[in-house]
Amino acid sequence: MHELGLTMEIVEIAVERAQGRSVKKLRVEVGKLAAVVPDSLRFCFDLCAKGTVLEGAELVLDWVPGRARCGSCGADVFLKVPYGQCTCGHSDLTLLSGHELIVADMEVV
């Protein structure tokens, strides 16, 4: 379970950004290829947020699709798993996005 480490990072960043204000809502962009389990993420978030300005904040997850570029025809391919095939038939794909876990937005009181 790597969610705990990731969550700790997110909480740390959010706490810094909040500058002592209470956070009501936190929007996090999660790459579909990051292999993050939403339930684990929420569980870890509640754990990490305890005692910080994030305690009780609503965690909103925004899923970012995996995107790759085909090495053969140059087309962008959207992926749900970290591998796949372009419509042209080639599987020579370079991943562009889909592994991120970033604090996108937050609402403070």
Residue 2 sits at φ, ψ, to 5 deg, of: -100, 5
Is residue 86 a contact point for Zn ion (CB under 5 A)? Answer: yes
In terms of CB distance, is 94 or 109 closer to Zn ion?
Answer: 94
Is residue 85 a contact point for Zn ion (CB under 5 A)? Answer: no
* Site residue total, Zn ion (CB under 5 A): 7
DSSP lists the bridge partners of residue 47 as none
Q: How far is CA 28 from CA 35, 82, 98, 103, in A?
A: 15, 20, 13, 5
In terms of CB distance, is 12 or 76 closer to Zn ion?
Answer: 76
Contact by Cβ (8 Å): 106, 18: yes
Is residue 72 a contact point for Zn ion (CB under 5 A)? Answer: yes
**Which one among 1, 35, 37, 88 touches Zn ion, defined by CB under 5 A?**
88
